[in-house]
Amino acid sequence: MAVNPFDIQGKLALITGSSRGLGFALAQGLAEQGARVIIHGRSEDTVNQAVQAIREATGSEAFGVTFDVTRSDEVKTALTQLVETHGVPEILVNNAGLQRRAPFTEFEPDDWDAVIATNLSSSFYVANALARHMSERGHGKIVNIGSVQSMLARQTIAPYSASKGGVVMLTKGMAADLARFNIQVNCISPGYFKTDMNTALWQDEAFNSWVENRTPAQRWGNVQELVGTLLYLCSDASSFVSGQNIFVDGGMTSVV
């Protein structure tokens, strides 16, 4: 093990859905620790802006890649080109996500398909493509982003809960297959964080009050508070940790 087991200096990390929001914060957190980060999104302009912002803020190398995570053929083509250009990432963070809300009886099949494709299928597509290269090399770190909704349900988001529950079990299945190649696969499940996706929620006085009262820490999380757990799972410090789901939720899943 390295003298500093948390050292990720120079390691190449791909973070999906990282051109803004939570993914951007995670990418910047890794870049601040010396990782070379690959920013991903579907808009080339937004990706380029995020790359420039991380370079200026951290001084670390940052690159951009654009593809639709829900299209397996597009994922495979893009990642083949990425590996040819930059090499095989040591770190993959499957962060791309989507939320749709509606009462269960009014939820449209197309919205179900979109949530499952973005939150669950994409994690399989991207990890499946990169794990082949990681296994040949003999090491790698894969971190999937789950949610407290992988364990807890709320009204109007049944498909989201199903997708995030699937991410946790996909993590365990991947760990079972990939551990022998020295690839650790784990999941981080955030609680309620002030992100772009949750803007309408934390600006809603009633919902904001519910989150603060339901969370033992009595507040929302700040996205920077996920970086420490991510750094642990991306570094040699977690070399014998695989298949785990770590809740970063201010204690929400520990109480009734």
| Residues noted as catalytic | 160
Token output for 29: 């957190």
Name the strands in the sheet holding 36-41, side by side, starting at the edge strand that comes first in the sequence.
62-66, 36-41, 12-15, 91-94, 140-145, 183-190, 245-248
End-to-end CA distance of the chain: 40
Answer yes or no: are the C-beta atoms of 29 and 248 closer than 8 Å: no
Q: Where are the alpha helices (DSSP H) in 67-121?
A: 72-86, 109-116
- Dihedral sign computed on CA atoms, order 149, 245, 97, 228: positive
How many Å apart are CA 224 and CA 235, to the nearest integer? 17
Per-position b or e across 129-147, b if 16+ CB within 10 A of its CB: bbbebbbeeeebbbbbbbb
